[in-house]
Every structure is written in structure tokens, then in C-alpha cells.
Chain A
Amino acid sequence: MIESFKRFRGTETYLTNDALEAAVNCALVLERPLLVKGEPGTGKTLLAEAIAEGLEMPLIRWHVKSTTRAQDGLYVYDTVQRLYDSRFGDGDVDDISRYIKKGPLGQSFAAEKRSVLLIDEIDKADLEFPNDLLHELDRMRFRIDETGEEVVAKDRPVVIITSNNEKELPDAFLRRCVFHFIDFPEPALMKRIVDVHHPEVDAALVEQALGVFYEIRGMRRLRKRPSTSELIDWIAVLRRSGVEDLKLDSQLPFLGALLKKEQDMVALADQLAGGSRWRS
């Protein structure tokens, strides 16, 4: 007895591997949140977009900030607007539900169609934030105290949660998630990724750019190693400016697209001046 479900297979612009697909499909089957971790720039956020596209569902985003409270995701009661309306007589003040604004989580529960909910960078919020969401994510329902209305998800949304590991997430929260760690792409996969984004770029240039990129990434002295998104930006700049030949030397064009820290620029220049010893 195999229950059928719509599988995620990646999209034309988002390349996956077996492990990632398996994790997404597990989350779909179990109807549990998928927690995605990995180096910045490995496409954690894009994954949610790809899932929404691949499964043809609307995407609802919730970007978490340090001040975000769990309640904000459910709903906000706009008391000031109601007070204002009561003073200036705009609309029906008795109807509290007019002043209840659903947050991203509330929207995804209330949606007619199954949706993809992205909770981006959950580690940015307060320590207790994930715990405050446990119940709502588990049951996929919550009550609006002001009106007594119960919001229940008809179709449990596909929840994608990303974390940059700035804070430890509580165990109780982790236990409820399917987990996937996005590895940094191998050169072969990276080439395919670049091809997807820049199909018309000369293969030789891509080859050279990748070589330089991985060599720079391999430098231990860098504080912030360039990631996929930076490589793609860099190649875009190279293409626009008509660079045809690349060599890793102090004349490397548009280095600012790859290295974002002053110290890293200095470190790279230093390394290059020191000859090729460091490459071994």
C-alpha cells in the first residue's frame, strides 16, 4: 500500500542531489517542517522557492529578525487602527476581525490551497522563539483570542526552515523537523549550477573561473570564504565586461565580487606576492 504523493525533483534552475530530494520528500510525506542548514550562499532560501515552483504551490515567506516574536507569525491585532476608526468613524469598529492581520504562518494555515511556508533564518530570533512555535507547527492550528476564531490548516503547508547556526536550536524543536545539511557543492556540481545561471558563457572561461574560485576558497587565511552566490555574481560581471582570459594573480578582475572583507583582499594579495608555495 503505497500512498502516492507529489515528489520534489528539483527545477530547471535549481539543481538538487539525491540526499536533498530525499530530505524534501521525507518532509512532504511526514508533513513535518524541513530544517535546512549550511554555509551562507549555498541556496537554502532558494530551495523554498524551488519547492514552491516544483510543486506548483504558492510561497509565503517569513523573514525572521532578532525582534520577531512567534505571535507575529500567527496574527497581529491592530488596535491603533481600531481606535483611530472609532474616532473618525471609518467602517465597522465592532467587527474585531477587520483588525486582525494574519502573519505569514496564519496566512499559510488559512490558505485555500496547500502552500509552501519559508521561515527564513530562524536562528536570528530569540532563544525561545522556536519553542513558541512548536505547538502551532505540530497541530497546524491556532486560536485568535480576540475573536475566538480557530484557524486550522486544511492542507498542512510545506514548512521550510533555514538556519545559519547563529544559535543552537532547542532539542524539542529539532526532534520535530526533518533535517538536511547542504554541503558546499563539488566542482562538478558547481559547474552545472553555473551552467544553469550562465548558459551562454564560454566554457573555457567558466573552467578558469571555477579553478580560481576553488583555489581562493581553499585559502585558510580568509575570514569569509566566497560562496556559490558570489561566484555566480562574479561570472556575471566577467561576462558583461567581456573578460576572456583569467589567471590567478594580483590583476584578478572584479575581485570585490568574490571577497567582501578588506582583510581578505590584503590576505590574498599577500599570498599571491609570496609566490605559489601556498597552493601546494
Chain B
Amino acid sequence: MSGVIVPFVYALRDRGVPVGMQEAINLAEVLRAGVHDSSLEGFYDVAKAVLIHSETHLDDFDQAFLEHFKGIEVEAKKLKSELLDWLADAKERIRELTPEEQALLEQYDLDELKKLFEERMNEQDERHDGGNRWIGTGGASPFGHSGAARPGVRVGGAGGNRSAVQVATERRYRSYRDDMTLDVRQMAVALRKLRALTREGAPDELDLEATIDETAKNAGELEIVIRPPRRPNTRVILLMDVGGSMDPYAHLMSRLFTAASKATHFKELRCLYFHNCVYGKVYEDARFSQPIRVRDLLADCGPHYKLIMVGDALMAPYELLQAGGSIDMSEEDRVEGIVWLMQLEDHFERTVWLNPEPQKYWHGNTIEYIRQVFEMYPLTVEGLGEAVKHLTKGKTARRAG
């Protein structure tokens, strides 16, 4: 494949649409079967169905299509044969390969493709000027980024695989992690691991093993044994810093909130708020109109609750270290902020602090102090996963059903 299709696929990738080898092969197969009726309109419909997987990318598709095919007087038939020629080779091979090798092929071929395409572009420059334009606007075509295509296509794809291919793609993964914030699903998936199940409540589930045992003991008279179903037994307190320096992270926080509140595997989830640092009170709403005294909270919630603090942990040092340092002047308690934090940390068996601030800024400010109190993790895919691992470790294990 060269000519038009590959650069179009790359144009989509440049717009952040996740398309790869798999989609290109599918497209080739569909075109071979003639679904597009050899028309550009048909090609548009077919390509959209095969290349796009979410309505959020439809607009990108349309834009890329317009930019790409505007002014092209190419017969769709030609599209078809080009695509087939190009893919014939790759397709032959892909059938007999393991998934890992397919992934390798994917890497390899995409690069080769690109080379092919660039050659084609050069060729074209020499061959004609004006008239039929093969590719968008020449130099400024979306294909112009001759470096690496945008990483991140394989998000959520084959994970946990340790073949050489995966190692090779490792670098892409990391860069993806760094600049991409978590979406709700990724958070929900990470939080799922916080699940612990116990048998509680009304017995309404058949215990097959016990039933067989009892029936046997009962000389074959059927003896049904039922037991309570497994229920989630994790209680979580989500304590979030809002306002002020946290404003830039409001979106991230709301996604975390959505993921946590949608999670069905918590027995209880309490979302509470604080501003800047925890002093005598925390609040049930982000507008700070319903205060709860920290002492009451601790009396209310046993040590088995898992405490997740979320905040940038950035403040003026005196706000953290001086008695009465609260920026809220009505605060009467003459206890340092850091002491409140230590109390929280001390009370709960498992606690963790998630920080949306990039890790490189974690030195030379109040973050350093707070890190001495709480285990701190960055609010990224990786960080959240590690934080959850930390929360489920140790003493909590005995509670798991």
C-alpha cells in the first residue's frame, strides 16, 4: 500500500485517532470484497466504519478526510489495487504468526510503510506539479511529521506481555504515561483492585461443595447448604484538596471522583474535602458549608477504612508547621497542620497521598514534609496503580474474605 491510504491512516494518527495495522488490513479486506462500490463516497463510509471506533473521533475522521482527499481525482478502484498490492505481502505472513510476532510486524511494517510513502512523495514531487495532487498540501500535509508517529496508539491494548516487541515499545508507553492524564476508565480499573470480598448478609447462594458433602453424609438424602454471597467489604475515605492551587487539576479531580463514586465494589465511600491542609475540620461538600470535626471522623471511622488523600501538598511552610497557621482565621484549634495530618495517618491502617503535581517539583517545598508523613504517589496511571497496591498490602490482607 502506498499512495493515498497509508498517509491517510497516518493523518488520522496525527490527529490522535487510534488506528494501526489491524485497521489497515481490515480496510484492505473490505475494499477487496468491493463493499465501497468503487466510489469515493463508498470509500468514505467504509473507511469510517473500519477505522473509527468511537464517535469522539468521527470529527477527526471527517477533518482528515477532507484535508486529505480534497482535490484528489483518484478513482477508488485505484485506491483498491494500491492498497491490495501493498498489503498482499504483509497479509500473507500475518496469518501464521503468533500475536507477539504480529505486533512485531506491526512495528516493522509501519516503519517500512512510512519509508515507502516518503519515497512516493519524493517521486511525486519530481513527476508532476499541479494537477492531480496525491497528498494534501505537499510539504504541509499532515504527513509532514516525518519523525515518529504520535505515540499512545496501543493504549490499553496488549498489556503485561514481555516479549522483545513489548520491550521495544516500552519507551512509547512511558512517554504516554507522562503527558497523558488518566481517564475515568483507567482510574476505575486501578481502583477495582481495592476490592476485598467477605461473606455477609442473608444466605441465598448455593454452596455446592458443602451441599455435596452434607448430602453424602446424609446417606444420599439431599441436604442443601446455602451461604451468604460474597460482598464487597472495602471502605474508603477520599479526602480531596480543592480550590486555590488545586484549580488547575479540577478536571483530574472530578474524573477521580467520578471513577470512585461509580465503583460498585466499595462497601462505603466517603468523599470529603479540605482546603490547603487539614486543620480541625474537613467538609462534606466542596463549598465548605458542612464541616465535620476530624475527631468525630476518626471516632466514626475505624482504622480499617482506607484513606486516600488527594492534593498538591503545596502551601506556605507556616501553614503547615505553625500552630494556628490555618489560612481560615475562624479556625480555633491551635494545632499545627502537620500534626493533624500525622493524626490521620496514625489512625488509619493504610493511607496514601496522591499528588497531581509532577514528581520533579516534589523537592524543596512542603511536599517534602508531607512525604515524611504519607506515602505519596503521583496521580498518573502508574502512580494510582502503585498507590492501590500500597493500600491493599499488609494488615488489610487478613480482612479479605
CB of A266 within 8 Å of the partner chain: no
Which B residues from 201 to 227 make CB contacts under 8 A with A? 206, 208, 211-212, 215, 220-222, 224
Instruction: Judge whether A127 and B32 touch: CB under 8 Å.
Output: no
Are A30 and B30 touching (Cβ within 8 A)? yes
B42 and A18 within 8 A (CB): yes
With beta carbons under 8 angstroms apart, the residue of A19, A167, A174 that contacts B45 is: A19
| Contact assessment for B192 and A179 in the assembled complex, using a CB-CB cutoff below 8 Å | no
Q: Is the interface of B mostly helix, strand, loop or mixed?
A: helix
With a cutoff of 8 Å between Cβ atoms, the chain A residues found around residue B42 in the complex are: 18, 22
Cβ–Cβ < 8 Å partners of B147 in chain A: none
Q: Is the CB of A26 within 8 A of B35?
A: yes
Task: Give A182's nearest chain B residue, CB to CB.
Answer: B55
Segment at the interface with B among A79-87, A96-104, A112-120, A247-255:
A79-87
Contact flag A127-B185 (CB < 8 Å), given A2-B33, A23-B45, A181-B58: yes
Residues in B with CB closer than 8 Å to A167 are: 185
Interface residue range, chain A: 35 or more
Q: How far is A263 from B341 in the complex, measured between Cα atoms in Å?
A: 46
A173-223 contacts to B (CB < 8 Å): 174-175, 177-181
In the assembled complex, which residues on chain B have CB atoms less than 8 Å from the CB atom of A175? 18, 22-23, 53, 157
B183, A168: Cβ atoms under 8 Å?
yes
* B residues less than 8 Å from A32 (CB atoms): 26
Q: Which B residues are closer than 8 A to A by beta carbons?
A: 18, 22-23, 26, 29-30, 32-36, 41-42, 45-46, 48-50, 52-55, 58, 155-158, 183-185, 188-189, 192, 206, 208, 211-212, 215, 220-222, 224, 264
Q: How far is the CA of A79 from the CA of B222 in the complex (A)?
A: 13
**Which single residue of chain B is at the shortest CB-CB distance from A77?**
B208
Say which residue of A18, A25, A37, A87 sits within 8 Å of B41 (CB atoms).
Answer: A18
Closest B residue, CB atoms, query A80: B206
- Known contacts: A18-B42, A26-B30, A29-B33. The answer to whether A87 contacts B156 by CB under 8 A is no
Closest Cβ neighbor of B208 among chain A residues: A79
Mind listing 9 A-B residue pairs with CB under 8 Å? A22-B42, A25-B33, A29-B30, A79-B206, A86-B220, A87-B215, A87-B221, A175-B23, A178-B49
Is B222 a contact of A87 with CB atoms below 8 Å? yes
Q: How far is the CB of B325 from chain A (nearest CB, A)?
A: 42
**Known contacts being A22-B49, A174-B54, is A83 close to B222, with CB within 8 Å?**
yes
Interchain CB contact under 8 A, A1 and B55: no
- Distance in angstroms between the alpha carbons of A87 and B211 in the assembled complex: 12
**Interface membership of A170, Cβ < 8 A:** yes
Chain B residues near A18 (CB, 8 Å)? 41-42, 45
- A174 near B53 with CB under 8 A, answer yes
Which residues of B lie under 8 Å from residue A25 when comparing CB positions? 30, 33, 35
Query: In the complex, which residues 18-50 of chain A have their Cβ closer than 8 Å to any Cβ of chain B?
Result: 18-19, 21-23, 25-27, 29-30, 32, 35, 37
Known A30-B30, A80-B206; further 4 A-B contacts with Cβ < 8 A: A87-B221, A167-B185, A172-B156, A175-B53
Which single member of B33, B49, B50 contacts A5 (CB below 8 Å)? B33
